[in-house]
Amino acid sequence: MQIWVDADACPKPIKEVLFRAAERTGVSLTLVANHPMAVPRRPNIRMLQVPGGFDVADGEIMERVRPGDLVVTADIPLAAEVIARGATALNPRGELYSPDTIRSVLSMRDFMDTMRASGVQTSGPPALSPADRKAFAGHLDRWLAHRPAGT
């Protein structure tokens, strides 16, 4: 099992949490993005650069994800696909998506897209808070604790 990160929009503090966890546990961590980014020099941490384009990184993650893997993404449609394949999806803000919750989250996303398309002004997400980071780290630690040894 390994961790995949939809890295283009992943906040730097969350990447740092992931780097520390990978260094501490030895879990394989792959950041997927359409532009280069620096990652620690460790055999279990790598950066996979994909060509630019709509959902190219998402497609690469979907080609490689396996049941039991963890995908860190704020992209709700990607999270839904990840869950359908038997992997775990975790939002960088600490929201753990599940088969029980993903439908309602996807419906809300679609509703908000419809509102914006009809001209309603919506605000973007608030800045990443310490509570978000704590929630993310907590879910990550639980996932790491429940993975089989040596993976």
Domain boundaries, the chain: 2-121+136-146
Mean local confidence (pLDDT), 41-67: 95
Question: How sure is the predictor about 150, in pLDDT bands with cuts at 50, 70 and 90?
Answer: low
121: left (phi over 0), alpha (psi -120 to 50) or beta: beta
Is the C-alpha dihedral spanning 106, 134, 61, 86 positive or negative? negative
Contact between residue 29 and residue 22 where contact means Cβ atoms under 8 Å apart: yes
Average pLDDT taken over every residue of the chain: 90
- Whether 3 and 89 have beta carbons less than 8 Å apart is answered as no
CATH topology of domain 2-121+136-146: Rossmann fold (3.40.50)
Q: What is the mean pLDDT of residues 131-146?
A: 96
pTM of the model: 0.86
At residue 151, the pLDDT reads: 58
Question: Quick one: pLDDT at residue 148?
Answer: 66
Distance CA 122, CA 22 (A): 36
pLDDT in tens, 73-121: 999 899 999 999 999 999 999 999 988 787 766 666 665 677 667 787 7
